[in-house]
Amino acid sequence: MPIPVVWSPETRRHEPMREVWVGVPTDGTEVPERVDRILDALDGHDRVEAGPHDDGVLRRVHAPAFVDHLATIHAEWMQGPYDGLVGQDRVVPYVFPTSAMTQGMPPTRAAATHGRAGQFGYDTMTLVGPGTWEAARAAVDCALTAVDLVTGGDAAAYALCRPPGHHATRDGYGGSCYLNNSAIAAQALRDAGHSTVAVVDLDAHHGNGTQAIFWERGDVRYGSLHVDPGAGWFPHYFGHAPERGAGDGEGTTKNLPLPEGTGDGPWVEAVRELAEFAAGADALVVSLGVDAAADDPESPLQVTADGYAAAGQLLGSLGIPAVVVQEGGYHLDTIGGLVAAYLDGHG
């Protein structure tokens, strides 16, 4: 039986419009059409519309203050003068109260919406617009509905989450990600009684958010292969090989940074290494980014559909109940085929 596909029409509601990259507004590539391109390619799979889930798991994986901020900041922005002043209906931060500013002092809540905009974000490319919250929240329901299918007896389920999630940390958003769908799926699998969960992240970029959320956890492993941030790639500060977790999570994080231009051979070998890292866990979450593909505009890796099929076979052959969560993948003409190749391989 092909792996069931969980989706929600609400995930189309987030329109990034543009991102501000090194000061320049550029067109966003994380567009709603991604959903339809993937759905079209998965014609032969049972389609399940995501059902509503309460905020319980969401508010344990993410700080409640951050969740409240994301749910309300766009409406607050629209009540301000910004749209009329600058023709800008996207929430764009300009000041970030990082430790460079706070220096250990407790900051007071910023009164101005444009001051508050940077409190829970860490870059200028992840804008909040009309429908962003609704889409991100629907993606969480997709992930949780896929978990329900697996805890109900399905061997695997695929959650067509959009926007993606693996760059979202406990306290904030960034990297075109708002809520961490994979981390929420992993926590929900733990709550359902799976004592150890492994997250394997195939996206071309390191999932710094997922790594951060489980950094000190011994019960959730995080393994990732990705283009080497040391070669100048996002998320720049994390994803290096020496990062292995801390405290109870010492040794439960594994990073395999790969050189620019890496193709199927060494990429699939790295997936094999992550499959061994995940073996023995009671449940598996696959962060399925397909932006490692050769045609993708967002990364320099050169993986083919055959490579993704081989990754699916390696992870599927572990025989662990699996929730596959969509992350990146931006080349509209090929993303659907790449996702289909992975799912066919996973079986």
Contacts to Zn ion from residues 304-343, by CB under 5 A: 328
Roughly what angle, to the nearest 10 degrees, separates helices 305-316 and 335-346? 30
In 10 A of CB 60, how many CB atoms? 14
- Kindly tell me which residue out of 204, 225, 270, 285 binds Zn ion, with binding defined by CB under 5 A: 204
- Is 243 a residue that touches Zn ion (CB under 5 A)? no
Query: How many residues of this chain interact with Zn ion, rule: CB under 5 A?
Result: 6
* Catalytic residue set: 167
Minimum Å gap between C-beta 204 and Zn ion is 5
Question: CB–CB of 55/71 below 8 Å?
Answer: no
Beta carbon of residue 178, minimum distance to Zn ion (angstroms, whole number): 14
Q: In terms of residues, how long is the chain?
A: 347
Q: Which two tokens stand for residue 55?
A: 């905020």
Query: What single-letter DSSP state applies at residue 5?
Result: E
CB of 30 to Zn ion, least distance (A): 9
**28 scored as a contact of Zn ion (CB under 5 A):** no
Nearer to Zn ion among residue 8 and residue 287 (C-beta) = 287
Q: Which is nearer to Zn ion, 321 or 328 (CB)?
A: 328
Cβ of 276: how many Cβ atoms within 10 Å? 13
> Is residue 205 close enough to count as binding Zn ion by CB under 5 A?
yes
Asked if residues 211 and 243 have their Cβ atoms less than 8 Å apart, the reply is yes
Q: Is 203 in the site for Zn ion (CB under 5 A)?
A: yes
| Interface with Zn ion, residue 150, by CB under 5 A | no
> Taking Cα atoms as reference points, which of 52, 30, 210, 46 lies closest to residue 138?
52
Beta carbon nearer to Zn ion, 229 or 289: 289
CA distances from 247 to 140, 214, 217, 251 (A): 28, 11, 8, 9
291 contacts Zn ion (rule: CB under 5 A):
yes
Can you name the residues that pair with 5 across neighbouring β-strands? 47, 158
Which range of residues in 23-31, 81-89, 119-127, 286-294 is near Zn ion by CB under 5 A?
286-294
Residues 56-85 vs Zn ion: string with x where CB under 5 A? ------------------------------
- In this chain, which residue has its C-beta nearest to Zn ion? 328
Residues 6+ apart with CB under 8 A from 212: 169, 170, 238
The footprint of Zn ion (CB under 5 A) covers 203-205, 289, 291, 328
